[in-house]
Structure 1
Amino acid sequence: MEKVLEWRLLYRGEGEAMLKAMIIDDEDYIREGLKKIINWNGHGFYICGEASNGLRGLTQIRELNPDLVIVDVKMPIMDGLEMIKNLRKENIFCEFIVLSAYSDFKYAQSAIELGVDSYILKPIDQNVLIEKVCKAHDKIINNKLIKDNIDLSISFSKDKILQSIIFNTIDVNTFEKYYSFFGFDFPWSNYRIALVEIEGENLNEITAKMNVKSNIESIISENELGYVFDIEIYVGILFNEIKLKANLKILQQMPLHIKELCGADITIVLGSLAENISDISSSFHHACKLINRKFILGSKGIISDSIEESNIAGEGGNIPVRYSMEHIADSLYKAIDAGNISQIENAMDIVYQEFLCEKYCEDVIKVNYSNIYSAALNKLVLVNCDMKEKLSVCQEVLKEICQKDSLQELHVYMKHKFIEISEELQKMRPDDPFKKIIDYIGRNYNQDLKLETIAALFNYNSDYLGKKIRQNTGKHFNTYLDTIRVEKAIHFLREGYKVYQVAQKTGFKDMNYFYKKFKFYVGVSPSDFKGRT
């Protein structure tokens, strides 16, 4: 009883929060009197309409869907009992209080047979009417509570049954028994599972998920595309594939609609096609596989089973050759230092294809991008000591890497960042193309420099570049490089570095070769030279 009183208080508000009552009587003064004889609002109702005979009442009830109808037995055209009988045939159910000026039991008996349990004789006693109205109110509220609980139970049961199909814990024959009970319109010719993931740190609450699910359910049910249910942390959709294909625009617009309705970004992942009920599980597992690769395949949109195959291969469907991250960092540093935008883009595209092909998780990919960025900049600092501050690893860039939502977005950002660094460096370089090359050799003398590599960096033919270096320096490339290295070695020996340290700092990996070259150009060994200084 306390629960009923609680619900009665809830409904005794304004407008739609209250229950609706209708008055049907052929006497105008009776209708007006019934409106005023009691405080309808105070008893949880508002008068939503009235009619002067059963036929008009029938039309009004169909349109207004009242919770309670006060109706006279005897009226022209169609009496009250005939009207109730017609409503019962149409499966329109509401509570009735029947009024009659006749005490003949046959009228009361007919009303009882029609499921009416409130019968009042005219003239109407105010207290009796209040008693009947309160009784009707309690009954209506109780019935609403029961219906809500049943609907909720059926909703939960639908979720459980669909989950059972997905996890193979119910056989198809058993499932078929539930079709009509839960309103499933199976079987369909084809099925497809979709998983909807809600994005955003503040949207992980249960209420947010319920809100998203409710709005998706409205879209799906309105267009009869399938059924919506909870599945683990996702909102699941079981699509009727034929109807989905015919209404693809609705699916494509769904992320935008949900954003507008709930403020939530969603990713919809479509599993593979299921040709029968027993294949639905495979569609679900395929969707799970795709959602685990969401960072690679993209986010905040729709990922389908056809995307993965087209994205994981390079041009022509060929899987690219694998490269180590160290090799990539080295290639990037050289391209950035030389100002070769094309090679920067090529190196980054190799990284991108590498992660498309391999089954790395999001965190591993971001760590690798961070390491490539740090390694490339550290190498640049070694040959651009005067720009150490500008080339130091930027924490804002590392933060941006962590915040990117997809591999594509991260790839574009890092490519742009490396090009930006290269363009900044080129402002400090000579304008003359050949002087740029000489400047590059002068800064990178301690690296494993080869004429072919330098020619490729600056878009020259290696034979032509070799001739240009000989014409401008009077020396072959290797001789010119050895000369620079030996000059640097003399400088470091004078600064007090040990002989083995100088060999390392000037790019001579073999000590015997260093001694040989130094003595050839200087006339004495590095040790003798150091002893004289």
Structure 2
Amino acid sequence: MWTIYLVEDEAFVRQAIREILEWETHGFRVVGEAGTGKDALADIRALRPDVVICDIVMPGMDGIELLRLVREEGIPCRFIMLTAMSDFDYARNALQYGATNYLLKLSLSDDILLANLSRIKGELISELERKGEALHPFYYQAWAELRRQAGLTDPAGKPSAVPDDFRALHLTVYTVLNGSAPITWEQLMEADIVSNEQYVAVHSFTEAGETAFFCWSKQASGELLRAGKAGELCAAAAGGGSLDSLTQHWGLALGQLDPCWYEGDSARESGPEPPMRELEGELVRCFEERHETKCLELLDSLWRGMDAERYGHIEVKMTAVRLAGMMTTLARGRGEPQVAELLAERTHRQLLQTMKRWVAELLRRLNEEEGLFTDHPDVNRVIRHMLENYRENVTVKDMAKLAAMNVDYLSTLFRRKTGQTPVAFLQNIRIGHAKRLLRTTEWSVVEVADRTGFADDAYFIKLFKREVGQTPSAYRKAQAISDLSY
């Protein structure tokens, strides 16, 4: 509530002013009073009221002198001066020092006083809104800190200066999983999620498919921690905050959205999963090998792991963005994901499905760009089987069974569509992966042969030299020299 301080040397007048309005009904609260300017100055310094209702003519320090001293000390409270008919010269002086208005004592009524207070309240709110613009860099810094806590390191930047007016206000943070659809404070009010009555300023901040509303009030709302749904909207709140605890309370409100993110389900029972970093490493390796089926299985495992460990939903989103970035790098920038699309998903399950669709589409596009696929669906089915199982003992008989053809017909059709026999095509896939392992690992030639489907390392070396023009060891040395010269 906006605070009022009364200064009047006559006690019965002070009492009459206190009783003229139901102050709290109109959003005001009388926080103190004094009968002299000297006593009032000490209280105003300590209480910093929003409005001072002050008599002009008082013994000792009069209202004009009090107003002048308050202004010299930079205290921004508004002054409403009370005057008698004979005090107009004083009243004009009061206006020169920045008094908001002067009112005649004899004609003072609740309507007149309320009209002046309402105008002052509007001015104070407008001023807070203007000063509140300086808070937006502060919100960005808090968001960077929340991202850092979620595992994505961002520089927080230089701390922003914030207006002192907000240090005395109480904060409630509302967060909404809005996805790609914009959300407004008015929509939350229409959904009966929030009420605007007690807040003197409301600021919104939208990032990563989430909108936060920072609601500033003059009166503490008590501890508030809750989440709920209204139609398609999932919202949460954390109250009892302040400017100094903004990041903490924002994080609390975001945390309240996690059950909604996981759609209220408890983590599914499943067998033990490998550590998350190990799963991520395996996903990257399978992506490099263009093993679509295994990539999709690993995404399922990763999402089950985050569910089981109850990652915060912001952490899940940032994990998806990080993984997508790694795979885009491996794809040499092709098929770059729409990060906004990933961040706009509202549930754990939806984000997983979006990631799986993107990975499958990117792998298919990469294979098509490199001429691995043809215009024949059965031949493509065989090629995909080779790409995913090249480390196994894949025979032409297995391929023919997969395509529902006899061996001779498959071999003839495959050669016509690709220019190679099935066996030669498979060997080229294996040689391609062997070249990658020789460039990127320290595995021995025997290990590389084994990991690319060659049971006989001597045959591997012979075939590699025939296809590449160098032995595996010579190829590795040449690549190392090339990297150094680059």
Q: TM-score if structure 1 supplies the norm length?
A: 0.32
Q: TM-score if structure 2 supplies the norm length?
A: 0.34
* Higher-helix-fraction structure: 1
Name the larger-Rg structure.
Answer: 1
